[in-house]
């Protein structure tokens, strides 16, 4: 998902530089949304991984 955000960002910047400001702005907006979704998923999975790691550690001891 982060890869898609980077692709949309680059495409938006290229389109903006070529004079297509409207569609370029839309691409940059999509890139921002995808970035924050990827960031939220990273935090969620990080917390879940820490919780699961503690349960495994406690089960071993």
H-helix segments, 1-61: 2-17, 21-60
Q: Model-level pTM greater than 0.75? A: yes
pLDDT band for position 61 (cuts 50, 70, 90): low
**Residues present in the chain in total:** 61
Tell me which residue has tokens 């979704």: 37
Question: How far is the CA of 32 from the CAs of 4, 23, 39, 52, 56, in angstroms?
Answer: 11, 14, 11, 30, 36
Residue appearing with tokens 């980077």: 6
pLDDT band (50, 70, 90) for residue 58: confident
Say what the pLDDT of residue 23 is: 94
């Amino acid at each position: 998902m982060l890869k898609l955000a980077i692709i949309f960002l680059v495409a938006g910047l290229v389109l903006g530089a070529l004079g297509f400001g409207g569609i370029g702005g839309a691409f940059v907006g999509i890139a921002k949304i995808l970035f924050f979704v990827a960031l939220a998923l990273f935090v969620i999975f990080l917390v879940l991984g820490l919780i699961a790691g503690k349960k495994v550690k406690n089960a071993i001891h």
